[in-house]
């Protein structure tokens, strides 16, 4: 049988790491890059008398009846459709690609790691906070709004200040094509005087929680891998360790998560029906563990690449091959 990995061309080292671990177990892995569909990859979905779904990528062909499990990872539907196409027609084409691929995934009778519907629900940060609190996890006070007055009032409640972040992860590109990631940032006094942009885009604000350490807890089935980093080591990573991610990449160390926190995180994962989640946590100077969010398809590759303590790809491969946690 074959493991189907659904991703895109420029996904990171996570994909080859997991594929290698699958093949080391004597099983096959097939990679479907959604950005290359429909321009380079063919997808035939036949629900006639004899149901058949076939993916053809050059010389490689996969009949999805051979698929024992599927890893729904990262999507870039129709990304290689020419931008020169009329915008309305291109948007319509991308939507058809999205519906075709998602429909195909939903129809697969194989084991799903994780179910697309579960991932879609778990991505909602507001629900995450509600459920985290339900299971007794500590969370920062949070406000999502497009109302400048609400932000100003919220800021007055926290002498230590507030930070702002986006619910979605995205980057913007300058005229030279340079990527500018939108990071979590401290809200300054001058920012509070210039909130007019909220009428075009709501933002999320949180109390500024002091940090002793930042944790990345990666859960795969019932296995929990937790790494810690001193993000306060650099001024640039005070509010978002990713801003100095390259400088900190070798600093991550194993961390013993308190048993009660680990138990609550597993309850959170079970609630959302997830086998996988990358969870961000702040450890405060007084040793409180503050849950920030769970990323249902979050990254792990840098932990495994630079440390022998986090065999996450092997844990993922084990579930994909055995179809059980």
- Segments making up each domain of the chain, as ranges: 2-112, 120-138+209-322, 142-207
Dist CA 81 CA 201 (whole Å):
28
Beta carbons within 8 Å of 23's beta carbon, 6+ residues apart: 29
The pLDDT value recorded for residue 1 is 86
Residue 315's SS3 state is helix
- Rounded to whole angstroms, the Cα distance separating 227 from 239 reads 18
Segment (H or E) for 147: none
pLDDT at 196 over 90: yes
Q: Which CATH number fits domain 120-138+209-322: 3.40.630.10, 3.30.310.50, 3.40.50.300, 3.30.470.20?
A: 3.30.470.20
Q: Among 113, 110, 116, which Cα is nearest to 75's? A: 116
Half-sphere exposure of 265 (CA within 13 A, CB side): 32
pTM of the complete model beyond 0.75: yes
10 Å CB burial of residue 278 (0-12, 13-18, 19+) is buried
Helices 125-134, 259-272: axis angle to 10 degrees equals: 130
In this prediction, residue 5 has a pLDDT band, given cuts at 50, 70 and 90, of very high
> Is domain 2-112 classified as CATH 3.30.310?
no
Walk across the sheet containing 52-57 and list its strands: 42-46, 52-57, 60-63
- What confidence tens digit (pLDDT) does each residue in 266-284 have? 999 999 999 999 999 999 9
pLDDT tens string 51-101: 899 999 999 999 999 999 999 998 999 999 999 999 999 999 999 999 999
Alpha-carbon distance of 51 to 107, in angstroms, equals: 11
3-state secondary structure (DSSP) of residue 246:
helix
- Alpha-carbon span 72 to 116, nearest angstrom: 7
Average pLDDT over residues 155-166: 93
């Amino acid at each position: 049988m074959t493991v189907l990995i659904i991703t895109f061309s420029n996904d990171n080292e996570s994909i080859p790491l997991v594929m290698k671990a699958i093949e080391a177990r004597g099983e096959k892995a097939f990679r479907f890059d959604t950005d290359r569909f429909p321009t380079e990859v063919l997808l035939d979905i036949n629900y006639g008398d004899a149901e058949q779904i076939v993916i053809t990528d050059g010389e490689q062909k996969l009949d999805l009846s051979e698929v024992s499990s599927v890893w729904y990872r990262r999507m870039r539907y129709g990304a290689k459709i020419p931008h020169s196409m009329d915008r309305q027609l291109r948007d319509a084409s991308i939507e058809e690609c999205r519906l075709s691929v998602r429909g195909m995934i939903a129809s697969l009778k194989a084991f799903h790691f994780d179910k697309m519907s579960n991932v879609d629900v778990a991505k909602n940060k507001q629900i995450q906070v509600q459920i985290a609190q339900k299971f007794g996890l500590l969370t920062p006070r949070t406000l999502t709004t497009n109302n400048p007055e609400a932000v100003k009032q919220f800021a007055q409640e926290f002498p230590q200040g507030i930070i702002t972040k986006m619910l979605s992860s995205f980057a913007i590109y300058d005229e030279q094509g340079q990527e500018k990631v939108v990071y979590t940032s401290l809200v300054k006094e001058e920012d509070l005087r210039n909130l007019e942009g909220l009428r075009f885009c709501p933002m999320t604000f949180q109390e500024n929680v002091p940090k002793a350490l930042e944790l990345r807890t990666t859960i795969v089935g019932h296995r929990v891998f937790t790494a810690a980093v001193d993000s306060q080591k650099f001024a640039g990573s005070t509010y978002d360790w990713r801003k100095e991610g390259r400088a900190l990449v070798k600093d991550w160390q194993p961390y013993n998560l308190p048993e009660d926190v680990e138990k609550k995180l597993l309850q959170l994962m079970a609630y959302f029906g997830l086998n996988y989640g990358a969870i961000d946590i702040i450890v405060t100077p007084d040793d409180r563990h503050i849950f920030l969010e769970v990323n249902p398809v979050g990254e792990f590759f840098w932990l495994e690449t630079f440390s022998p303590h986090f065999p996450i790809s092997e844990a993922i491969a084990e579930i994909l091959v055995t179809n059980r946690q």
